[in-house]
């Protein structure tokens, strides 16, 4: 089943079958790991479409077809990490171009923009994208890219993708949406008007905390050509073994996401009722800001959430962070096992403190990636850790 032949209409069937065609030489039902750097040519310039593995690899091709299918796009490209995928998008730009980006997003994206690309003369303007009027107000003749993340990491803020796509189109800019937190099961930004979807495949797509990888999906052939050119020219390609792992992860994405969502609901409601908890950031609550938009653009709310304690000090947060037994203290998210993380010192330490606090990311904030274990066990664990 290829991206051009999308005959499986329902999501579950799509996730199981995306990109998989029996291996032509043996009939192997699973795409083999083509662990090769080069391909023997029949004559100079005569080959089977594979010349050198930085440019083409059959395992990667199967994954890229799968990525396109699961995001309702035409073309997928796989990268050696999520930030490598982001890096490729920014390399579409020229000095003098402007990017409007969310003021609350993954710390590594912020670091890449401010510490690596700003010095090449690309200007990044950070706004609160939860109110799209802020984006509209920041548009200039030089705006070439709008970069949003929804829900955001770690405050679970929601941005209206369709509304931003209208602004982006009017400005003649490209809209890229980091869809890592929602996953393609809960949200498909291309259907809502985005030009590019970006994923850290390390998270829900891989799903088992055993691979680092990134993805881009798009509909426009010209954009695909430019990004493919950057992929092969800059060389941030994933190895075939890693492509195999993400292909395997995708097959169970819908089943895992349903459980993440169910457990997320249970844990979020438990935390909200806990007397020592001040605030829970989870986009499934009816009183979450922009919940109405989340309800329209997302199929589920997932297992990512953050919370603060009534005692919003680093010490109190540290006590919880070091006393969970099931929730492992680690960066990353989206795996089958539950993780607990302290954004201020871990995932978001690369954002200056004043910037962080200004955007609501306080020193006491605790982030959870709720896994697919039994929700009762997870709640018991949090109960004993929060006290
Ligand atoms: C992890 C993450 C990234 C970066 O991806 P890597 O695979 O770690 O390079 C980007 N965006 C979000 C939302 C993430 O969670």
**pLDDT digits over 190-214, tens only?**
999 999 999 999 999 999 999 999 9
pLDDT digits (tens, 9 = 90+) for 16-38: 999 888 998 899 999 999 999 99
Distance separating alpha carbons of residues 198 and 214, to the nearest angstrom? 7
The total of other beta-carbon atoms located within 10 Å of residue 92's CB is 17
CA of 2 to the centre of ligand 1 (A): 27
Distance separating alpha carbons of residues 2 and 25, to the nearest angstrom? 18
Helix (H/G/I), strand (E/B), else coil: 193: coil
pLDDT digits (tens, 9 = 90+) for 121-144: 999 999 999 999 999 999 999 999
CA of 359 to the centre of ligand 1 (A): 19
Please tell me the residue having the least CA distance from ligand 1 atom 11: 106
Identify which of 108, 189, 305, 331 to mutate to test ligand 1's pocket (most ligand atoms within 8 A of the CB): 108
Strands (E), 171-318: 174-178, 196-200, 214-218, 277-281, 304-309
Annotated domain spans of the chain:
3-250, 253-386
Average confidence score pLDDT of the chain: 95
- What is the CATH number that goes with domain 3-250? 3.40.640.10
pLDDT digits (tens, 9 = 90+) for 145-177: 999 999 998 899 999 999 999 999 999 999 999
Mean pLDDT of 375-383: 98
pLDDT attached to residue 2: 46
Please tell me the residue having the least CA distance from ligand 1 atom 6: 82
Specify the DSSP class assigned to residue 154. Answer: T
Mean pLDDT of 341-352: 87
Asked if residue 206 lies in contact with residue 251, where contact means CB atoms within 8 angstroms, the answer is no
Domains 3-250 and 253-386 share a fold: no
Catalytically active residues are: 54, 106, 178, 203
CA of 251 to the centre of ligand 1 (A): 21
202 CB within 6 A, ligand 1? yes
Mean pLDDT of 276-305: 96
Which residue(s) pair with 79 in the sheet?
214
Atom of ligand 1 nearest to the CA of 149: 13
* Rounded (10°) angle between helices 240-250 and 58-70: 30
Note the CATH architecture for domain 253-386.
Alpha-Beta Complex (3.90)
CA of 347 to the centre of ligand 1 (A): 10
Asked if residue 151 lies in contact with residue 304, where contact means CB atoms within 8 angstroms, the answer is yes
Please tell me the residue having the least CA distance from ligand 1 atom 1: 200
Confidence tier at 7 by pLDDT (50, 70, 90): low
Atom of ligand 1 nearest to the CA of 85: 9
Residue 349 has pLDDT above 50, yes or no: yes
108 CB within 6 A, ligand 1? yes
212 CB within 6 A, ligand 1? yes
CA of 203 to the centre of ligand 1 (A): 8
Distance separating alpha carbons of residues 289 and 353, to the nearest angstrom? 24
Per the structure block, which two tokens stand in for 277?
């908890």
pLDDT attached to residue 124: 98
The total of other beta-carbon atoms located within 10 Å of residue 383's CB is 11
């Amino acid at each position: 089943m290829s991206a051009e032949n999308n005959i499986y209409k329902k999501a579950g069937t799509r996730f199981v079958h995306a990109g998989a065609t029996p291996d032509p030489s043996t009939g192997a039902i699973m795409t083999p790991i083509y662990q090769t750097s080069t391909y023997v040519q029949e004559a100079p310039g005569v080959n089977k479409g594979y010349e050198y593995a930085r440019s083409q690899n059959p395992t990667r091709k199967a994954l890229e077809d799968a990525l396109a299918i699961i995001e309702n796009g035409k073309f997928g490209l796989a990268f050696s990490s999520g930030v490598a995928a982001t890096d490729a998008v920014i390399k579409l730009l020229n000095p003098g171009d402007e990017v409007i980006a969310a003021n609350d997003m993954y710390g590594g994206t912020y670091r890449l923009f401010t510490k690596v690309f700003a010095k090449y003369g690309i200007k990044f303007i950070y706004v609160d994208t939860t109110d799209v009027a802020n984006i509209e107000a920041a548009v200039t003749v030089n705006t070439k890219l709008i970069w949003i993340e929804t829900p955001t990491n770690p405050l679970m803020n929601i941005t209206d993708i369709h509304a931003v796509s209208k602004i982006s189109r009017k400005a003649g800019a490209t809209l890229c949406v980091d869809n890592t937190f929602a996953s393609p099961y809960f949200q498909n930004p291309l259907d809502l008007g985005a030009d590019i979807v970006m994923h850290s495949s390390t998270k829900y797509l891989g799903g088992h905390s055993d691979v680092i990888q990134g993805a881009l999906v798009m509909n426009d052939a010209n954009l695909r050509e430019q990004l493919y050119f950057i992929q092969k020219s800059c060389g941030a390609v994933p190895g075939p073994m890693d492509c195999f792992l993400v292909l395997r992860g995708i097959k169970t994405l819908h089943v895992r996401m349903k459980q993440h969502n169910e457990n997320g609901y249970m844990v979020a409601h438990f935390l909200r009722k806990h007397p020592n908890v001040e605030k829970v950031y989870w986009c499934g609550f009816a009183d979450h800001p922009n919940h109405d938009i989340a309800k329209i653009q997302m199929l589920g709310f997932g297992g990512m959430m953050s919370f603060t304690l009534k005692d919003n000090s680093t010490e109190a947060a540290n006590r919880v962070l070091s006393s969970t037994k099931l929730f492992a203290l680690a960066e990353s998210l989206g795996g089958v096992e539950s993780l607990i993380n302290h954004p201020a010192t871990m995932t978001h330490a690369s954002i200056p403190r004043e910037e962080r606090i200004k955007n609501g990311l306080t020193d006491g904030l605790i982030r959870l990636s709720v896994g697919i274990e039994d929700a009762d066990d997870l709640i018991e664990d949090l109960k004993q850790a929060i006290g």
